[in-house]
Structure 1
């Protein structure tokens, strides 16, 4: 995974879009570099304050993904974001007016409260900062409208009442919408669920983990090679078990008590062997599931590294083309310069210049 630098972070934030893949890829990169959480969150806040309303929502989805999926690695991001989230919600409340933005942020806050990402007191503060400015701007608009209506003479009181009724009706409708939207939260938590193709998933249900180191992956692959299903010795023992221990019809062929005891002993040994082998197979299945996740995460990382390498390769190709063009221009320039070897030999010194008298005397 590429090394961390502020310029790399700025470039990734600039290229961030609302697709789920874009958000998850950058989230994985940020979690991998969580030791730089302080400058990362600081840069994130600085950039959020300059982008458009639509991209502010994308930034919030990114923060949500990082906060939730980094919990298993450590609390760094959750704590760092908690210090700046009041400022974030105040900024959005003051500068934004999109109903979609406020609705989506409300759902994020609901998820954080339900999952215990932040305590109820913090969520209440975030919600208050977000809605306070939003309500204040709406109230200012309502007051301006009421002031205009009051200039209409005797109908001023009636217009004001109508305005208040409209505001009350809008408030009731918004409450109804919130109630209707709450059951949909569970749907949004499912993997790969999106609305209109954007990343309104709040958080992936099965997030990509931190990619394993190559040595760790090689060790896991080696363990699978030596797993139960590859144990030829035990498989051969099971294959060579006598048919009498598994065929009920053979019981009728028993001639005496000693033969029955011998068969019972063989059956018990076979059961013990099979139970042990089944336990090993179950453990192998768990290891294979874990390995599949590791391979998925490793593959995602390699794809990102490949994309970055291809991008760098293209940049270097362009630089090479420019260098070749400069080199050709220099060669052309050199070919147009005079050949110094063709100049007269001045080893013995140049002839003395004529004096002023020589130039102006007429002979």
Structure 2
């Protein structure tokens, strides 16, 4: 494993992508070097966060932190605790610059930390508060039930959960339209390799050195193909997990909007009933006037 320097780490962070392989590889490298270079690692990571405003890039850095922190829990608890010191400014920066979809994914990371007791409830509450306070200026998925409704408008409030389907979500759905798991061509290529590559029991049937050489050649040929396909499958799994989180939040928003719309409908019905009653009283009053 290569040595450590801040320059090397910056270069590795620049090459980081939001894939399982990329994140886990850099996470292992960081954990390998954290004992002697903890301060430099944390400082470099935070600088990289602060120098970026792209939502996907910020999520990649946060996913890296998540992998490092969860693995450090058993391997290097002091480093896990030290990492918390840079999380608060990082969360504030990410909250101010990331779009709503990526803030939801950040919320999911914090929820996982709470479920697994990675940090104390008090410390996680501070991070959640940082996330929420920085997001106050962003419009909610649904309208505020306390906001006044214009009586001169025939339309319901314009805020809608459907507006949460921003470009990031649409791109995610489009990528899953052609997933690795449905790549028939590559699956056929892998299936065509000798079964003995994956089944050691079949090696007993090999009798000659020529057969050994042929199997070795096929194995060398198959390894990069299978590795690349496994990486694609891991990426697909992560995207499906992200989509699952998104849809759970989206369904929750729809349920909340439904409840608020029901409350609005009930309020309007009561208003109509009140107006009808007042209209009847007014009619009675008019009928009782002299001359009628």
TM-score (norm 2): 0.51
Post-superposition Cα deviations, 1:48-95, rounded to whole Å, max 9, x if no partner, equal 122321011011110000001012222233212211211111111212
1:125 has 2:126 as partner: yes
Quote the residue 1:9 is aligned against: 9
The 3-state SS of whatever aligns with 2:137 is helix
Aligned 8 A contact 1:71 1:78 in 2? yes
Match of 2:156?
162
Cα distance, 1:196 vs structure 2: 3.7
Inter-partner Cα distance in structure 2 for 1:49 and 1:2: 26
Question: 3-state SS of the aligned residue for 1:136?
Answer: coil
Once the two structures are superposed, what CA deviation does each residue of 1:180-199 show, in whole Å capped at 9, x if it has no partner? xxxxxxxxxxx987564657
Corresponding pairs, count? 171
Q: Which residue of 1 aligns with 2:42?
A: 41
2:20–2:235: 8 Å Cα contact kept in structure 1? Answer: no
Q: Partners of 1:75 and 1:160 in 2: how far apart?
A: 59
Q: 1:259-291, CA deviations, whole angstroms, 9 ceiling, x for partnerless residues?
A: xxxxxxxxxxxxxxxxxxxxxxxxxxxxxxxxx
Q: Provide structure 2 residue ranges, at least 5 long, that are not aligned to the other structure.
A: 166-229, 243-292
Q: Give CA-to-partner distance per residue, 1:234-257, whole Å, 9 cap, x none.
A: xxxxxxxxxxxxxxxxxxxxxxxx
Q: Distance in 2 between matches of 1:77 and 1:134?
A: 29
Aligned-partner Cα distance in 2 for 1:15–1:88: 19
CA distance in 1, matches of 2:235, 2:154: 39
TM-score (norm 1): 0.41
Q: Deviation of residue 162 (structure 1)?
A: 3.3
Counterpart for residue 54 of structure 1: 56
Alpha-carbon displacement from aligned partner over 1:83-136 (angstroms, at most 9, x marks no partner): 12111111112122241x122112111110011101112222212211222232
Q: In 2, distance between residues paired with 1:18 and 1:135?
A: 27
- The RMSD of aligned alpha carbons is 3.6
Rg larger for: 1
- Match for residue 113 of structure 1? 114
Cα gap change, 1:63 to 1:158, in 2 (>3 Å): farther
